Amino acid sequence: MISSLLGLDALFSFYVKILCNILHEGIKMSSVVKSSLENPNYKILKNLLPKNEQKTPPKPNDNIPFGSIATNHMLICDYDPQKNGWQVPEITKFKSFSVCPSAVVFHYGQTIFEGLKAYQSLSNQNEVFLFRPDQNAKRMTRSATRLSMIPFPEDLFVNCIKELVKAEKDWILPPPGALYIRPSLISLDKGISYRASETYRFFIIASPAKSYFTNETGVSVYIERNFSRAALGGAGEAKCGGNYAAALPSLNDAKEKGAEQVLWLDAFEHRYVEEAGAMNVMFVYNQKIITPMLTGSILHGVTRASVIELAKYLGYEVEEKRIEINQIIEDAKNGKLTEMFACGTAVVISPVHTMLDGEQKISINNCQTGSVTMHLKNELIGIQTGTKPDPFGWRCPIF
């Protein structure tokens, strides 16, 4: 009866909303239960290297592959219920640490991470900003709860990042560069019995970052019609290691075919667009932007949410919906699809100029970057680097 009234797409959306509400209510309840375990003092120890033992940061013109160079320091904080929960975070020298070979993290994949950047102001190099770190903290809580891990306190998460960035301020590359920040949470319990760990390690590392892709004019994507990234009801919206590991064979295939990234389709029908590699994806029809709706199998991208809000503020129409890949291909061929871009922390916004579908090569807008893509990219980077007004309060100043 319901399906006849609503139609299949509407019915799908109806059930997705119910599922998302269940998941999000579970996360909120779990966060309340765990709140009593947080460190109430929020003290952060600093054990910094002497200046004469610190490495010299690279110069902006140096060759710096993404994520290849670590800064001098890292932050570590352990969770142990036998010691009243979260311990005092410590900023110490970047180093290896020992984990037992039988630790749960190695055998059952309880590992999650985040990614965000610290930006130097384009107009004043003494000003440094984070971009919406509170949203990364919330997403990490969501990921932790989905994997039955103890969430790291969200306000302490932001403070830890701020203090580490203060210690590593000389490593922040000037725009268009930045300092990429990688918070992670791993399970430490010893023993190979299958269960959720009771002990955890939260740590943050950082790396000077230039452009993620070497091709600034845009990227090509390979349409994956066989494998899927995540299924409805699975862990697709969690930023967990297993999601990325399972996607590597398709990424390798894409690169062999000459594409930089994979365009993922839904797991059930391989019919609807979901993500582009580890990024969210958007399509432009003249002045209208459409993007896949969040279904539980798509990551809640901080950049995605920001682009949607920014686009609406700038006067663009934005619609979140199910998007059929065959319709996208047809519209790209006949010119109705005017632009396509991917968005995420590492790339900010990257134009997509080509889709590869088997032996087909489909160009978008004659492989030219569109005006809507560039408008959004320039406005967003301007907010991040302090050269544009921030009507949303997204910039989080450190200095």
pLDDT of residue 40: 52
DSSP string, 202-224: EEEEEEEE--SSS-TT-EEEEE-
What stretches of 11-137 adopt beta strand conformation (E)?
Answer: 45-46, 73-80, 85-86, 90-93, 111-113, 116-120, 128-131
Q: What is the pLDDT along the chain (399 residues), one digit of tens a residue?
A: 444 444 555 555 544 554 455 445 444 434 333 433 344 557 999 999 999 999 999 999 999 999 999 999 999 999 999 999 999 999 999 999 999 999 999 999 999 999 999 999 988 989 999 999 999 999 999 999 999 999 999 999 999 999 999 999 999 999 999 999 999 999 999 999 999 999 999 999 999 999 776 666 799 999 999 999 999 999 999 999 999 999 999 999 999 999 999 999 999 999 999 999 999 999 999 999 999 999 999 999 999 999 999 999 999 999 999 999 999 999 999 999 999 999 999 999 999 999 999 999 999 999 999 999 999 999 999 999 999 999 999 999 998
Collapsing DSSP to helix, strand or coil, 158 comes out as helix
* 1 vs 7: CA distance, rounded Å: 10
DSSP letter (8 states) at residue 31: H
**Domains of the chain and CATH, by start:** 38-209 (3.30.470.10), 219-393 (3.20.10.10)
Whether 230 and 297 have beta carbons less than 8 Å apart is answered as yes
pLDDT for the residue 125: 87
The count of other CB atoms within 10 Å of the CB of residue 266 is: 22
Q: Which residue has the tokens 């309340």?
A: 32
Give the span between the Cα atoms of 182 and 204, in whole angstroms: 6
Q: CA 94 → CA 62, 205, 272, distances in Å?
A: 21, 8, 43
Q: Which two tokens stand for residue 374?
A: 């560039």
- The structure tokens listed for 232 are 């409805």
Question: Do 29 and 141 contact (CB within 8 A), yes or no?
Answer: no
- Residue pair 112/239 in contact (Cβ under 8 Å)? The answer is yes
Strand-strand pairing, 73-80 and 90-93: antiparallel
d(CA 154, CA 183): 12
pTM over the 0.85 mark: yes
Alpha carbon 59 to chain centroid, angstroms: 26
- CB neighbourhood size of 190 (10 A): 12
Judge whether 340 and 282 are in contact, CB under 8 Å. yes
